[in-house]
């Protein structure tokens, strides 16, 4: 497989997963903003969401004290924002067009239809009437994309690079979403374990479709340490850091016949590190510090994957 083809496949999956993650962050922030105790200036909730998605660097300074819908519009429809949902799906579709022959008809049609429907939406109508419904639609379209990949593609290199892109982006997204909760969204005067704390953790679990899984594993009520354990260390939770990295290890082992093995060595070290961790060690280190380190290491892993299998250009 040509490096440019591998690169496009990798980024198709990353862009679709990124769009879904942005929808999930909008969903959780929008719901938190409905809590009376959090109804202050919009920027107090929405600007942290921009920071977590990396959009704060490009967000216009004159809009930083704007209303909820301005923040949402920037995160969803702004064509000048390279990380908006609109831009992410456009880039996924553009990359898919370049490697059309490596995709099944169903996978191509899923991405193409996703883009066409999104492009035909009227932003004002979405923002004024159905933000949460729109977020659900984005998540469902992302599920359709992954379903077509799992159901229709040969288990060849194209499949492996699509799965690899999904797992890399998803691990980054989970870490960032957890960081929203504990470092940025919890007001300084709130006590951990209070009513507001409970609703925030409940919202986080719902945002990653993990509430039912949590209830099956943990019989007590929602506690911060149990949520963190589920989303970081549980190897059976689809969006946990551990499961994402186990998937990446398996995928890289299948791809090492290609070129170098720098990424494989790195992921082995990171998985050993995660296996050595427990919830006490994470909190002793500091949850924010742990997640920040993980995000940095995940970026490094992505760079190593590019060096090993694609071009030297880091996107």
Q: What is the pLDDT along the chain (315 residues), one digit of tens a residue?
A: 788 999 999 999 999 999 999 998 888 888 777 665 555 555 667 777 777 777 766 776 655 556 777 888 889 999 988 999 999 999 999 999 999 999 999 999 999 999 999 999 988 888 877 888 999 999 999 999 999 999 999 999 999 999 999 999 999 999 988 887 665 545 454 444 455 566 777 878 888 889 999 999 998 888 888 999 999 999 999 999 999 999 999 999 998 765 568 899 999 999 999 999 999 999 898 888 999 999 999 999 999 999 888 864 444
137, part of any domain:
yes
Domain that holds residue 10: 3-309
Is 131 within a domain? Answer: yes
Look at the chain and report how many structural domains it folds into.
Answer: 1
Residue 315 within a domain: no
314 in any annotated domain: no
CB count, 10 Å around CB of 3?
Answer: 15
CA atoms within 13 A on the CB side of 80: 5
Within a domain: residue 196?
yes
172 in a domain, yes or no? yes
In this structure, what is the dihedral angle of CA atoms 296, 301, 303, 304, given to the nearest 10 degrees? 150
In a domain, 249, yes or no: yes
């Amino acid at each position: 497989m040509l490096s440019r083809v591998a690169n496009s496949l990798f980024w198709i999956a990353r862009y679709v997963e990124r769009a879904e993650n942005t929808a999930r962050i909008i969903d959780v922030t929008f719901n938190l903003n409905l809590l009376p105790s959090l109804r202050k200036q919009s920027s107090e909730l929405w600007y942290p969401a921009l920071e977590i998605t990396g959009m704060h660097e490009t967000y216009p300074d004159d809009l930083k004290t704007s209303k909820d819908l301005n923040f949402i519009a920037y995160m969803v429809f702004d064509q000048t924002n390279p990380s908006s949902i609109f831009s992410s799906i456009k880039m996924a579709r553009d990359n898919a067009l370049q490697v059309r022959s490596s995709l099944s008809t169903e996978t191509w049609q899923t991405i193409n239809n996703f883009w066409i429907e999104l492009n035909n939406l009227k932003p004002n109508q979405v923002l004024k009437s159905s933000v949460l419904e729109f977020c659900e639609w984005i998540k469902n379209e992302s599920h359709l994309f992954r379903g077509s990949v799992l159901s229709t593609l040969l288990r060849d290199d194209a499949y492996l690079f699509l799965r690899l892109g999904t797992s890399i982006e998803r691990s980054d997204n989970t870490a960032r979403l957890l960081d929203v909760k504990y470092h940025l969204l919890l007001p300084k005067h709130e006590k951990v374990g209070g009513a507001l704390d409970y609703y925030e953790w409940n919202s986080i679990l719902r945002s990653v479709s993990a509430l039912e899984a949590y209830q099956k594993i943990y019989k007590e009520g929602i506690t911060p340490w149990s949520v963190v354990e589920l989303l970081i260390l549980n190897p059976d939770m689809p969006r946990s850091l551990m499961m994402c990295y186990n998937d990446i290890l398996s995928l890289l082992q299948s791809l090492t016949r290609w070129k170098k093995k720098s990424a494989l060595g790195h992921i082995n070290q990171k998985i050993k590190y995660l296996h050595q961790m427990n919830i006490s060690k994470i909190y002793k280190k500091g949850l924010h510090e742990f997640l920040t380190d993980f995000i940095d290491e995940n970026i490094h892993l992505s760079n190593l994957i590019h060096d090993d299998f694609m071009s030297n250009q880091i996107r």
